[in-house]
Structure 1
Amino acid sequence: MKTLILALVALQTAGAPTAAQFNRALADACPTPRSETRNISCARAEEGSIQFSCAYEMRGANGAWAHHTAILQQAEGQWVWIDGPTRCDSEQPELN
């Protein structure tokens, strides 16, 4: 029980994902086409939550930059894309 409590505390105190971790989670969620991002900023979605809300800009297929928001969460030591638009949305909507 003590180990479970310590694990939950560690998750709750984990910092926000870095830009590299954000891009890795995005690439895992949508490997192709490759997404170019910038201005990534993440903060805990709610106090005490293990999910982080990340604002970012992503270059679309037309070359234009657009603002988006995504939800990421740590699972098994890595950041996982929970929700948010990707370049796969129009090609494989079942993935999002």
Structure 2
Amino acid sequence: MFLTALRSKPHLDREAESSVGDGWARGAEAADEYVHTHFSFEDYPGDPPHARVSIAWADVEALITRFADKGHPVALRLLSADKLAGAVEELTKNTNRPTPVA
């Protein structure tokens, strides 16, 4: 994941990179519904500032939808697979109902 911190002047802008869920960050909620990513801006003068991004599943779904809107093939496959899985679940529910005995 890539983060750009935009400051008041372009020469103060900083960039940092982090892998998703690379560890704990101060103030991060220890909950199953979030994945936390921690960024450290190492090239900042003095004590480097840090940033944390907390991502919920709703954020992931929104990102997949945005990539699908742009025609990204993997995002389109994920949405198709989700639709297919929903149809299979519905079919399984309907076929597992007991048949009424007359």
TM over 0.5: same fold? no
Higher relative contact order (CA 8 A, sep 6+): 1
Q: What TM-score does the superposition give when structure 2 sets the normalisation length?
A: 0.30
- Determine which structure has the larger strand proportion and give its number: 1
- Determine which structure has the larger helix proportion and give its number: 2
